């Protein structure tokens, strides 16, 4: 990868990486750090990383940075309790489906969020996701399945069905 391609990659991927980190549960500072670290790593390995591989390279670093941050912070993934304790997370009649979906998305565990983002937003295959998240393909498929099932159940609990509100 050349320097020019590197700079082009910044324009292409920085926003997606940042969103990915935020949706994995990182705060803005952690997300920014993760993205910076990812591009720093890419620069360091510039001759070895091709433009085609750069995307998965970057997402891998961002996810690992966010995951290690959560391990450090010992975040307890208990979405139900969070929902009960935090009034802002209570179902609101003003929520439209998009907001409700976002709410449901934030409800699922971090690793499921990461896998779902990589699949539905970034378009990665199960095999690629398993490489980025350092999981087996069977684990990835299981998490993807559980993620959408959980989100659907959450939407149903909020009163949203297939016909929307």
Partner 1 sequence: MTITTDNYEQYLFRYAEGDLSPDERSAVEVWLTQHPEASEELENYLACPPLAPAPIPYPDKGSLRLRATVFAFPWRYAAAACIALLLGMGIWRYLSNTKDEPVLMRTGTSALPMMAENHNFLTIAKRKQPAVRLPKTITCRQETCTPVVSYCQDACTPEYDISSMEEGPAVAEVPNVQPLPEEETVVIIYEEILVPCTIEEPVLAWVEVDSTYSPTLADRLEYWSSQYTCQFYSQYQMARAKMLTSLSRRPF
Residues in region 26-55 near partner 1 by CB under 8 A:
28, 32, 35-36, 39-40, 43-44
Q: Which is nearer to partner 1, 16 or 60 (CB)?
A: 16
User: Are the C-beta atoms of 22 and 31 separated by less than 8 Å?
Assistant: yes
Q: Considering the rule CB under 8 A, would residue 19 count as an interface residue with partner 1?
A: yes
User: Are the C-beta atoms of 51 and 6 separated by less than 8 Å?
Assistant: no
Q: Considering the rule CB under 8 A, would residue 99 count as an interface residue with partner 1?
A: no
We find the least distance from the C-beta atom of residue 53 to partner 1, in angstroms, to be 18
Residue 11 burial (C-beta neighbours within 10 Å; 0-12, 13-18, 19+): exposed
Which residue in this structure is represented by tokens 């009960």? Answer: 84
Q: How far, in Å, CA of 47 to CA of 5, rounded?
A: 11
Q: Which is nearer to partner 1, 40 or 75 (CB)?
A: 40
Which positions ≥6 away from 41 have C-beta within 8 Å? 57, 61
Q: Considering the rule CB under 8 A, would residue 153 count as an interface residue with partner 1?
A: yes
Q: Which of 2, 75, 145, 157 binds partner 1 (CB under 8 A)?
A: 145
Q: How far, in Å, CA of 149 to CA of 145, rounded?
A: 6
Size of the site for partner 1 (CB under 8 A): 43
Which residue in this structure is represented by tokens 């939407």? Answer: 155
Q: Residues interacting with partner 1, by CB under 8 A? A: 3, 6-7, 10-11, 14-15, 17-19, 22-23, 28, 32, 35-36, 39-40, 43-44, 97-98, 101-102, 105, 116-117, 120-121, 138, 141-142, 144-146, 148-149, 151-153, 155-156, 162
């Amino acid at each position: 990868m050349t320097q020019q391609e590197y700079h082009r990659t910044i324009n292409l991927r920085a926003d997606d990486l940042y969103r990915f980190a935020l949706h994995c549960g990182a705060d803005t500072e952690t997300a920014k750090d993760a993205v910076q670290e990812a591009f720093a790593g890419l620069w360091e390995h510039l001759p070895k990383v091709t433009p085609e591989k750069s995307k998965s390279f970057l997402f891998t670093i961002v996810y690992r940075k966010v995951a290690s941050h959560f391990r450090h912070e010992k975040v307890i993934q208990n979405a139900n309790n969070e929902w009960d304790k935090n009034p802002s997370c209570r179902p609101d009649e003003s929520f439209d489906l998009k907001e409700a979906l976002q709410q449901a998305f934030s409800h699922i565990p971090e690793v499921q969020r990461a896998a779902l983002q990589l699949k539905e937003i970034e378009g990665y295959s199960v095999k690629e996701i398993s490489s980025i998240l350092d999981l087996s393909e069977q684990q990835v498929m299981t998490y993807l399945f559980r993620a959408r099932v959980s989100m659907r159940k959450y939407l149903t609990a909020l009163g949203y069905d297939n016909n929307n509100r």
